[in-house]
Chains A and B, each alone.
Chain A
Amino acid sequence: MMNNMSEKDRRALRVGGIGAGAILLFILVGSPVMDYWERLNDRVETSQKKLRDIESGVLETVEANGLMEKLRASATVYPEPTGLNTQTAQMVQRVQSLPGYGSITIRRMEPMALQERDEFYRSAVSLQFGGTLSGLHRFLAEVQSANPRLKVERLDLTANAKDSTKIDGQMVISGYAVVAQKAQKAQRGRRTSG
């Protein structure tokens, strides 16, 4: 049959045959091989991504632990918001447990309402006191170096009219608390709105 065909027809048939063979080869061999290659690449990338995630997770955890330690030095950290119920009471207890607490005479101690800020909560206590200036200085120095941190927001003092070595006054001491869930949500909300 081939002998009856012209050279042009034979060439066309040959080219067609080669093309068909190439297509068949691609379907039977090329495509499965490429699929296998892609699957292999995906598996390698997935495994390597898992490794990278573990590595970055470990690093982030280490960093987060460091930051948490730093935060604990500044504020009381509660895992749940229910812990805030005890915040003011704990703060009063902390103030009372300061060694310099006895160096001044506390006439009245009044806890104040818990204030909520974006990232943290602020609890405060108002003190009316009397005593000497040096006793006050000692108490204030211990407040300043308390851990978690305490801050004297306001201080009013006057010299005692009867005894010039004595003073009377009033101060507001505040402490800070952080709820882990809130911190996470606040940052997420900020990122979303940003």
Chain B
Amino acid sequence: MAKSNVVLGIELLDDEARLALAENGENGLTLLATQRVAAGEDMSRALRGLARRPSVVVCAVPLENGAIRILSLPPSTEDNLERVVGMEAESVLPLPTEEMALSHQVLGMTEQSRLEVLLAACRLPVVQRALARVNCAPWVSSSVTLSAAALLNAVQQVRGSGREDVCAVLCVEAQGSELLVLDHTRIVTAQSIPIGCGANPAAAEAAGARPAEAATANGPDARGGDGAVGVLAAAAPPWISTLSQQVRYALQALSYERGAPVERLYLCGSGSGAPNADWRISEQLDLPVTLLAPEPARGADQAAFAVAYGCAVQAAGAAQLTLNLTPARITVAREVEQRRQNVLSWGALASAVVLATGLVFGAAVYQKQQALAAAESRLRALGMAAPAPPIPAADLKAVATAVDEASEARVRPADLLALLSAQLPTGAWLAELTYNSETGAVVRGYSTSSGGAQAAQNRMLRQQVFDEVLLDYVTEEQIGDVPVWGFQLTCRLRPKEQPRRGQRPAAGTRR
């Protein structure tokens, strides 16, 4: 994707400046906005108020302050050419070259092996004034061209390069006009005509219409013709007639000289905004006339921005004729100033970063100091070292667990005695008891009934105090004359399993 490049073209006139903001993108050059800035208005504010900030700016000064010449020079090297052009300019220009800003562009070689060079010149104070006005914003570093060169670029951009062999461009402004004649893509002549449309072409139009109305009142013959053309001719304001006459003479002279008639006239400038100006000039010159408007769809006054648009074309790098009248020393001074500004900006940025870093660091240090002060004051308030228990809690826990395990009995002897007292059936009695806290108990006794031992075993089992209750034997005996049944019950406790860590004792195990 091509990088978007926003450019600005400025036409500087006595009473106003015309701005054309364009973007050179994937779809070619697109006009973004046009704007007029009156002579008294702040140009800096206007530039800052643009929708997009331009990266390149080109401004045009009127041709009346300069001149364009075609030089025919002997072939020369690139380095030598500037010196030759400078010397040649002395002879073709009316002012000394020290008072002029020069620019040139090689057009090509002639059939006679001469180098054809286009020379553009402008009064140095005019260029300096233009730069002083346009370079008001620090980010703008404008170059200066002539309005005629801007017109050529505008025409080539708007109409393309191959429609007519010879055409003319007439730019009509309030104070004067410019006539540019092109042969294909080359400037044949560029001249300034001191006839303009006046400050308000519409008012001039109205003034010109009054005699026409009078002529209409005297009948068709008085208008000098029939139909719309006659009406237009009769209604033409004086500046159109006068200017048309001057243009006709210039074009005829050129036609005689070169033997190639002008095929079309492109009309632009503020004078083109007068009603039917193109028709009237066309009628007077007997030439087809087209308005040179960069974006006709944007409105009727777009033809007034043709020069500014041509400047934008040059700024975008799409121009056929690129002239830069800015003196090298001004350019250098400007670049030095911009570099100084850059250094200042970066310096300010770096200082701000350093300052911000210092502030952040200072804040962090302050916060740490506060935390330290708080911690130390708490330590002072506590006024003691970390207490340590005589035996660590973990050690105590292990010892307490071990002692608990050793001192606990699953079936305690008092409970066993109570159990036997409660569970031995009627007619059965205890004769001998052997108890061990780890393994269980062996109970020997007697019963007056043969089933007493079995009943005692069942009852003991039902209590689920011991893991096993075994009836070891039952023997029939005699105590005196009374038959009794001796028995022995073994009540076992299974050895305690060491539970794994986190494991609970098995369900049903009772102590």
B217 at the interface (CB under 8 A from A): no
Given A61-B387, A64-B393, A140:B432 Cβ within 8 A: no
Given A71-B403, A75-B407, A187:B386 Cβ within 8 A: no
B371 at the interface (CB under 8 A from A): yes
In-complex Cβ contact of B435 among A40, A137, A156 (8 A): A156
B372 touching A43, Cβ below 8 Å: yes
B403 touching A60, Cβ below 8 Å: no
In the bound complex, CA of A17 to CA of B400 (Å): 74
A127 at the interface (CB under 8 A from B): no
Which residues of the partner chain A approach B501 to less than 8 Å between Cβ atoms? none
B378 touching A187, Cβ below 8 Å: no
B368 at the interface (CB under 8 A from A): yes
Q: How many pairs of A and B residues are in contact by the CB < 8 Å rule?
A: 164
B330 at the interface (CB under 8 A from A): no
A120 touching B399, Cβ below 8 Å: yes
In the bound complex, CA of A167 to CA of B387 (Å): 56
In the bound complex, CA of A60 to CA of B390 (Å): 10
Interface of A is mostly: helix
Which residues of chain B in 391-438 are interfacial with respect to chain A, using CB atoms and an 8 Å cutoff?
391-400, 402-404, 406-409, 412-414, 417-418, 421, 429-437
B361 at the interface (CB under 8 A from A): yes
Considering the complex, give the chain A residue whose CB is closest to the CB of B397: A67
B382 at the interface (CB under 8 A from A): yes
A178 at the interface (CB under 8 A from B): yes
Which residues of chain A in 140-189 are interfacial with respect to chain B, using CB atoms and an 8 Å cutoff?
140-141, 143-144, 149, 151-159, 164, 169, 171, 174, 176, 178, 180, 183-184, 186-188
Given A37-B365, A56-B386, A140-B412, A64:B402 Cβ within 8 A: no
B375 touching A44, Cβ below 8 Å: yes
Across the A-B interface, the 5 shortest Cβ-Cβ residue pairs: A64-B389, A47-B375, A140-B414, A53-B386, A187-B395
A117 at the interface (CB under 8 A from B): yes
Given A47-B376, A54-B382, A156:B396 Cβ within 8 A: no
B433 touching A183, Cβ below 8 Å: no
A119 touching B388, Cβ below 8 Å: no
A48 touching B399, Cβ below 8 Å: no
Which residues of chain A in 40-70 are interfacial with respect to chain B, using CB atoms and an 8 Å cutoff?
40-41, 43-44, 47-48, 50-51, 53-54, 56-58, 60-61, 63-65, 67-68, 70
24 contacting pairs across A/B (C-beta < 8 A):
A36-B365, A37-B364, A50-B379, A51-B375, A54-B382, A57-B386, A60-B388, A60-B393, A63-B393, A74-B400, A120-B406, A133-B430, A140-B414, A144-B414, A151-B437, A153-B437, A154-B437, A155-B413, A155-B434, A157-B432, A158-B432, A159-B430, A186-B399, A187-B398
- Identify the B interface with A (CB < 8 A): 361, 364-365, 368-369, 371-372, 375-376, 378-379, 382, 384-400, 402-404, 406-409, 412-414, 417-418, 421, 429-437
In the bound complex, CA of A155 to CA of B7 (Å): 113
- Name the residue in B390, B395, B417 with the highest tally of chain A Cβ atoms < 10 Å from its Cβ: B395
A117 touching B402, Cβ below 8 Å: yes
B397 touching A61, Cβ below 8 Å: no
Considering the complex, give the chain B residue whose CB is closest to the CB of A40: B368
Given A60-B392, A65-B389, A151-B437, A176:B379 Cβ within 8 A: no
In the bound complex, CA of A149 to CA of B404 (Å): 9
A68 touching B402, Cβ below 8 Å: no
A60 touching B389, Cβ below 8 Å: yes
A33 at the interface (CB under 8 A from B): yes
Which residues of the partner chain A approach B382 to less than 8 Å between Cβ atoms? 51, 54
A136 at the interface (CB under 8 A from B): yes
Considering the complex, give the chain A residue whose CB is closest to the CB of B372: A44
Considering the complex, give the chain B residue whose CB is closest to the CB of A157: B433
Which residues of the partner chain A approach B389 to less than 8 Å between Cβ atoms? 57, 60-61, 63-65
Given A54-B387, A154-B436, A64:B396 Cβ within 8 A: yes
Q: From residue A83, how far is it (CB to closest CB) to chain B in Å?
A: 14
- Identify the A interface with B (CB < 8 A): 33, 36-37, 40-41, 43-44, 47-48, 50-51, 53-54, 56-58, 60-61, 63-65, 67-68, 70-71, 74-75, 79, 117-120, 122, 133, 136-137, 140-141, 143-144, 149, 151-159, 164, 169, 171, 174, 176, 178, 180, 183-184, 186-188, 190
A120 touching B392, Cβ below 8 Å: no
Which residues of the partner chain A approach B431 to less than 8 Å between Cβ atoms? 158-159
In the bound complex, CA of A158 to CA of B394 (Å): 46
> 17 other contacts beyond A74-B404, A186-B395, with CB at 8 A cut-off?
A37-B365, A43-B372, A44-B375, A47-B372, A51-B375, A63-B393, A75-B407, A119-B399, A137-B414, A153-B437, A154-B436, A156-B434, A159-B429, A164-B429, A180-B391, A187-B394, A188-B395
Q: From residue A86, how far is it (CB to closest CB) to chain B in Å?
A: 19
In the bound complex, CA of A33 to CA of B369 (Å): 14
B393 touching A183, Cβ below 8 Å: no
In the bound complex, CA of A140 to CA of B379 (Å): 54
Which residues of the partner chain A approach B368 to less than 8 Å between Cβ atoms? 37, 40-41, 44
Considering the complex, give the chain A residue whose CB is closest to the CB of B409: A151
In-complex Cβ contact of A120 among B361, B388, B402, B430 (8 A): B402
In the bound complex, CA of A122 to CA of B407 (Å): 10
Q: From residue B415, how far is it (CB to closest CB) to chain A in Å?
A: 8
Which residues of the partner chain A approach B412 to less than 8 Å between Cβ atoms? 140, 144, 152
In the bound complex, CA of A136 to CA of B416 (Å): 12
Which residues of the partner chain A approach B418 to less than 8 Å between Cβ atoms? 137
In the bound complex, CA of A54 to CA of B396 (Å): 20
Which residues of the partner chain B approach A63 to less than 8 Å between Cβ atoms? 389, 393
Which residues of the partner chain A approach B394 to less than 8 Å between Cβ atoms? 187
B437 touching A68, Cβ below 8 Å: no
Considering the complex, give the chain B residue whose CB is closest to the CB of A178: B399
Q: From residue A17, how far is it (CB to closest CB) to chain B in Å?
A: 15
Given A117-B402, A159-B431, A180:B417 Cβ within 8 A: no
B386 touching A176, Cβ below 8 Å: no
In the bound complex, CA of A157 to CA of B258 (Å): 153
